[in-house]
Amino acid sequence: MATVGSARILLLTFLVVFCVGPVGAQFTPFRALPAQPPIPDENLQSPAKIALGKTLFFDPRLSGSGRTACQQCHNLAYGAADGLALSTGDDGARTARSVPTLWNVGFYTIWFWDGRATTLENAVESHLFETNVMNAGSAASVSRQIAGIGGYGDQFRRAFGDETISAPRMAQALASFLRSLVTQDSVFDQYLRGDKSALSESQQRGFQTFVDSGCASCHFWVSLAGPVPGLAFQTGEGFYELFPNYPDAPSDRTYKFSADLGRFQVTADEADRRLFRVPTLRNVAHTAPYFHNGAVATLEEAVRVMGEAQLRVNFSEAQLEDVVAFLNSLSGQFPQIAVPQLPQ
C-alpha cells in the first residue's frame, strides 16, 4: 500500500485545491500556527484529560522497568526530544531512529518517521508497548500497574467519567496533553500575521531561498511539514517524501541516510522505499541533531545536506547563513508547563 508517489505532486494538488483563488495575490503556502491542532471527535480535549496526560507523561511507572517516563526521551525542557542521535529505550537497546520533537505533534496526519501510526492515540499506545521505547508489557499489565496507584482512579474519573483504567484511555489522555504542546507566536508567525518587519533582512533572504530552491515543496503550511488534517489530507493519510532524493550525493556516503528504508519497512511496498514523513521545521533550532538517524549535528550542515542530497542545489555560505537565520525564526513560544505531582 504505497501511500503517495511524490510529495511534490501532492503539493500541486494541494495548491490547486486549497490555495488558488481565496488566498489572493499575496499567495503563500504558509499559515501561522493556530492555538490548537485539529481535535478528533473521538477524543475531545478537556482540562482534566490534559492534566491526566501530563501526569502520565512524567510517570516512569508506565514503563517496564519503572525507570522510563515519556519525559526521558521527549524532554520538555529540551525541544521535547533528547538531543541525541539515537536513544536508549527502556529495555536498554538503541532506538532505530532519532527522537522527533513533540512540540506541535498534533498537526501531523500520520506519526513516526515511517508513518506507521495513523492517529496520535495509536502512536502513543504503540510506543507504550514497543520494547525499546516504554516496554510496558501488555495492556493488562500496564493497566493493572497504574490502577494499583491510589489517586489515578480519581484522575481517570475526572477525565473519562468513571475510574476504568485502560491502555487506550492512557493513550487518549497522553494524546490530549500532546495536542496542547503548541508553540505559538514565532517570529515567522508574526511575519505571516502581517508584521513584515518581524523577519530580519537575512531571514527574509533565507525565506526567499527556502521557497525558490524548493524546500517549500514539502515544508509548507502551518508546521512546515505539509498538510494538516482536513487540508488535502485526512488524519491517517501520509505526506511522505523520498529521502535522500539523490543517494549518490556525497553526504549520503558520510551520513548513511539511505541505509534506512523508511516506510518500506512498514509496507514492504517497493514504492515506499526510503519514503519518510516530512518532519516539521518549527522549533528546528531546538531539535538537533537532525534527520531520521540523527547523523547531522548542526542546522547549517542539515541545510547544506538537504540542498545537496534532496534538491541538487549547492547553497553558498551566504545562502546557508540566511536559510539558517530563517529557520531560527520558526522557534515559537514554549508554553509554561508546571511539573505535575504524581499520585503515590
- Which residue ranges make up the site for a copy of itself (CB under 8 A)? 55, 58-61, 66-67, 69, 71-72, 75-79, 82-84, 87-88, 92, 285-286, 288, 334, 336-342, 344
The CB-of-54 to a copy of itself minimum distance in angstroms stands at 9
Using CA atoms, how far apart are residues 60 and 70, in angstroms rounded to an integer? 8
Contact between 311 and 245 (Cβ < 8 Å): yes
In the bound state with a copy of itself, the residue whose beta carbon lies nearer, of 168 and 340, is 340
In the bound state with a copy of itself, the residue whose beta carbon lies nearer, of 94 and 312, is 94
DSSP-assigned letter for residue 260 = S
The CB-of-206 to a copy of itself minimum distance in angstroms stands at 18
The CB-of-52 to a copy of itself minimum distance in angstroms stands at 13
In the bound state with a copy of itself, the residue whose beta carbon lies nearer, of 67 and 312, is 67
In the bound state with a copy of itself, the residue whose beta carbon lies nearer, of 118 and 202, is 202
Tell how strand 240-242 and strand 275-277 pair up.
antiparallel
Q: Which helix (H) or strand (E) holds 121?
A: helix 120-129
The CB-of-66 to a copy of itself minimum distance in angstroms stands at 6
Q: Which helix (H) or strand (E) holds 189?
A: helix 187-192
Contact between 109 and 259 (Cβ < 8 Å): no
The CB-of-328 to a copy of itself minimum distance in angstroms stands at 10
Q: Is the peptide bond before 250 cis (omega within 30 degrees of 0)?
A: no
In the bound state with a copy of itself, the residue whose beta carbon lies nearer, of 93 and 311, is 93
In the bound state with a copy of itself, the residue whose beta carbon lies nearer, of 18 and 78, is 78
The CB-of-225 to a copy of itself minimum distance in angstroms stands at 20
C-alpha grid cell, residue 231: 487540508
| Cβ neighbours of residue 37 closer than 8 Å, sequence gap 6 or more | 104, 106, 107, 179, 182, 228
DSSP-assigned letter for residue 241 = E
The CB-of-116 to a copy of itself minimum distance in angstroms stands at 25
Half-sphere exposure of 326 (CA within 13 A, CB side): 24
Using CA atoms, how far apart are residues 253 and 260, in angstroms rounded to an integer? 13
In the bound state with a copy of itself, the residue whose beta carbon lies nearer, of 35 and 338, is 338
